[in-house]
């Protein structure tokens, strides 16, 4: 094995520098065993040496401004130009998909170098029989590069604390909900939509996915009930506004809208109870290996996943474990995850669906970061209305109900601020619902009279 990173190539070495800038935990882990001499050229050696010195003093990676200040003192114009060029290249790779691989290989290389040094340094000790010293040297080399992150160092990481407090959120597309969530659902967080069967929870997820795709993001939509093409048709309707039954007559318009879409939607079907959270996580890794970066995961819906535990004898325990694993996956992959959950049949008669109407397992509520329900009674289905109720919200107030409008032809949901609808509009809605019910009762009475005759 070479004593330098030469065998890995130039880009690999640049991405090591990228990782040192981007990942404080990686820098902290490797700082004692990463020798700047492992790098091929003087410019990279200077950059790594500067990063290490700065970290030893300030416990963080140097910013671009710090590096600019350091470089300004270099008198060798050729070296300075080379350093600037390499830094620009390093900053280009901040969003590279293979940085985890780069870091893993770098740690392995540096640890092997430490072990090699320890073995070579033990030759003289072996000659004079210093076996305890040899063991100490080898043990030290074996533990080099271990995880040195003992946790958040309160006094030393004040600035980092405020950087971490800023959530990187993904908006749902409904301003009322996003404002309530302090911007949207963040990376590593779990959002849940609750509704009885046939009310529209799957369409709610499609609306969230469509909003993300329009914002230029990559959406992974997992369906455990409907096939991939059918879910694709739902996206077509939501994105174009064309009624589902009319899509086949407007294929050219659909193609135009999809071609202009700045984001990407990938739909993956698994049979009901045919996939686990591990199945989903494995597919996400495959997606990343293909060079794609997921921004949002939708699972329609988690109640139809299969649990991985051996002791899930009761459905409520299995569902509780599934939601805990799903929340863990969101945190591990640093992705926002939205899913849907079934409400009890009795929820069909509720004006507002509360937490006690969620089917089987209350632990779903305990695990999730944000939970909202969708309620639509018979008159709502007739009028294209409904109510969104915020059951749980880690990011702000909950217990708030918003009126909504649902276009059942194209699946578009609108959510309104509760104060934005005037009393006249509310009264009109109530009158419309009452008239609908009267018509239905009259029709039933006429049917009964006909049957009796």
Residues 6+ apart with CB under 8 A from 84: 71
Residue 448's pLDDT is what?
60
CA angle 260, 265, 270 (to 5 degrees): 155
Lowest-pLDDT range of 56-65, 91-100, 158-167: 158-167
pLDDT greater than 60 at residue 432:
no
Residue 249's pLDDT is what?
95
Structure tokens at 390: 């915020």
Average pLDDT on 12-33 reads 90
CB 302 within 8 A of CB 288: no
DSSP for 277-316, written as a single string: HHHHHHHHHHHHHTT----EEEEETGGGSPP--S---SHH
Residue 306's pLDDT is what?
87
Residue 433's pLDDT is what?
44
Residue 128's pLDDT is what?
79
pLDDT in tens, 60-75: 889 989 999 999 989 9
Lowest-pLDDT range of 91-105, 248-262, 405-419, 436-450: 436-450
pLDDT in tens, 331-390: 989 999 999 998 877 788 888 888 887 766 577 788 899 999 999 988 888 899 999 999
CB 212 within 8 A of CB 170: yes
Average pLDDT on 93-115 reads 90
Lowest-pLDDT range of 26-35, 155-164, 182-191, 319-328: 155-164
d(CA 185, CA 423) in angstroms, rounded, equals 32
Residue 354's pLDDT is what?
87
d(CA 132, CA 129) in angstroms, rounded, equals 9
The strands making up 296-300's β-sheet, listed across from edge to edge, are: 264-269, 218-223, 296-300, 337-342, 190-195, 370-375, 385-393, 401-407, 412-415
Longest CA–CA separation in the chain, Å: 115
DSSP for 223-277, written as a single string: ESSS-HHHHHHHHHHHHH---GGGGGG-HHHHHHHHHT-SSEEEEEE--TTS--H
Residues 6+ apart with CB under 8 A from 348: 196, 199, 377
Instruction: Provide the 3-class DSSP secondary structure of residue 148.
Output: coil
**H or E element that contains 207:** helix 201-214
pLDDT greater than 50 at residue 424:
no
Residue 16's pLDDT is what?
95
CA angle 110, 116, 122 (to 5 degrees): 140
CB 107 within 8 A of CB 145: yes
**Ramachandran sector of residue 343 (left: φ over 0; alpha: ψ -120 to 50; beta: rest):** beta
Q: Quick one: pLDDT band at residue 158, thresholds 50, 70, 90?
A: confident
Instruction: Provide the 3-class DSSP secondary structure of residue 208.
Output: helix
**How many Å from the N-terminal Cα to the C-terminal Cα in the chain?**
97
Average pLDDT on 79-97 reads 93
3-state secondary structure 364-416: HHHHCCEEEEEECCHHHHHHCEEEEEEEEECCCCCCCEEEEEEECCCCEEEEC
Q: Quick one: pLDDT band at residue 422, thresholds 50, 70, 90?
A: very low
Q: Return the percentage of the chain with pLDDT > 70, whole number.
A: 83
Instruction: Provide the 3-class DSSP secondary structure of residue 421.
Output: coil
d(CA 413, CA 407) in angstroms, rounded, equals 7
Residue 429's pLDDT is what?
45
pLDDT greater than 80 at residue 421:
no
Per the prediction, the chain carries an average pLDDT of 85
Facing residues of 374 across strands?
Answer: 388
Lowest-pLDDT range of 6-15, 150-159, 335-344, 423-432: 423-432
Average pLDDT on 161-167 reads 64
CA angle 118, 57, 31 (to 5 degrees): 30
pLDDT greater than 50 at residue 23:
yes
Residue 243's pLDDT is what?
94
pLDDT in tens, 218-269: 999 999 999 999 999 999 999 999 999 999 999 999 999 999 999 999 999 9
Identify which of 27-36, 136-145, 224-233 has the greatest average pLDDT. 224-233
d(CA 405, CA 2) in angstroms, rounded, equals 66
Residue 147's pLDDT is what?
54
DSSP 8-class letter at 220: E
Residues 6+ apart with CB under 8 A from 395: 167, 180, 181, 182, 369, 370
Instruction: Choose between 311 and 341: higher pLDDT.
Output: 341
Structure tokens at 22: 């981007």
Instruction: Choose between 351 and 442: higher pLDDT.
Output: 351
DSSP for 58-93, written as a single string: HSSPPPHHHHHHHHTT---HHHHHHHHHHHHHHHHT
pLDDT greater than 50 at residue 284:
yes
Report the half-sphere exposure of 152 (CA within 13 A, side-chain side). Answer: 10
Instruction: Choose between 420 and 23: higher pLDDT.
Output: 23
Identify which of 212-221, 317-326, 416-425 has the greatest average pLDDT. 212-221
DSSP 8-class letter at 157: -
DSSP 8-class letter at 36: G
pLDDT in tens, 256-280: 999 999 999 999 999 999 889 989 9
pLDDT greater than 70 at residue 393:
yes
pLDDT greater than 60 at residue 122:
yes
| b/e map 260-299, b = 16+ CB within 10 Å | eeebbbebbbbeeeebbbebbbebbeebeeeeeebbbbbb
Instruction: Choose between 195 and 162: higher pLDDT.
Output: 195
d(CA 112, CA 422) in angstroms, rounded, equals 71
Q: Is the peptide bond before 301 cis (omega within 30 degrees of 0)?
A: yes
Identify which of 78-87, 116-125, 433-442 has the greatest average pLDDT. 78-87
Lowest-pLDDT range of 11-20, 40-49, 151-160: 151-160
Average pLDDT on 129-133 reads 72
């Amino acid at each position: 094995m070479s004593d330098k990173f030469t065998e890995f190539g130039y880009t690999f070495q640049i991405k090591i520098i990228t990782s040192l800038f981007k990942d404080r935990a990686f820098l902290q882990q490797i700082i004692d065993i990463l020798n700047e001499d492992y790098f091929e050229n003087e410019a990279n050696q200077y950059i790594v040496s500067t990063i290490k010195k700065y970290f030893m003093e300030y416990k963080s990676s140097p910013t671009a401004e710090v590096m600019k200040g350091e470089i300004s003192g270099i008198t060798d114009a050729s070296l300075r130009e080379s350093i600037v060029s390499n830094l620009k290249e390093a900053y280009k790779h901040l969003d590279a998909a293979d940085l985890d691989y780069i870091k893993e290989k770098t740690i392995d290389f540096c640890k092997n170098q430490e072990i090699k040094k320890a073995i070579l340094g033990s030759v003289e000790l072996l000659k004079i029989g210093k076996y305890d010293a040899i063991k100490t040297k080898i043990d030290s080399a074996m533990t080099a590069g271990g995880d040195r992150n003992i946790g958040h160092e309160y006094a030393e990481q004040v600035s980092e604390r405020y950087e971490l407090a800023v959530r990187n959120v993904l908006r749902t597309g409904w301003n009322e909900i996003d404002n309530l969530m302090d911007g949207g659902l963040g990376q590593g967080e779990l959002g849940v939509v609750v509704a009885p069967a046939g009310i529209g929870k799957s369409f709610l997820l499609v609306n969230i996915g469509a909003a993300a795709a329009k914002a230029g993001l990559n959406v992974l939509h997992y369906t455990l009930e409907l096939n991939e093409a059918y879910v694709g048709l739902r996206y077509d309707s939501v994105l174009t506004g064309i009624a589902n039954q009319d899509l086949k007559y407007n294929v050219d318009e659909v193609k135009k809208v999809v071609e202009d879409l700045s984001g990407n939607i990938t739909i993956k079907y698994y049979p009901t109870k045919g996939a686990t959270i591990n199945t989903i996580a494995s597919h996400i890794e495959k997606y990343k290996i293909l060079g794609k970066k997921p921004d949002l995961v939708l699972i329609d819906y988690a109640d139809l996943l299969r649990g991985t535990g051996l002791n899930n004898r009761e459905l409520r325990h299995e569902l509780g474990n599934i939601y805990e694993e799903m929340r863990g996956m969101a945190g591990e992959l640093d992705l926002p995850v939205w899913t849907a959950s079934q409400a009890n049949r009795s929820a069909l008669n509720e004006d507002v669906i509360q937490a006690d109407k969620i089917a089987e397992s209350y632990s779903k509520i305990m695990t999730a970061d944000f939970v909202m329900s969708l309620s639509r009674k018979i008159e709502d289905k007739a009028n294209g209305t409904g109510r969104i109720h915020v059951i749980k919200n880690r990011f702000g107030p909950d217990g708030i109900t918003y009126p909504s409008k649902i276009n059942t032809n194209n699946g578009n949901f609108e959510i309104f601020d509760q104060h934005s609808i005037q009393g006249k509009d509310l009264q009109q809605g109530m009158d419309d619902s009452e008239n609908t019910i009267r018509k239905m009762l009259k029709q039933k009475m006429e049917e009964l009279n006909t049957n009796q005759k």
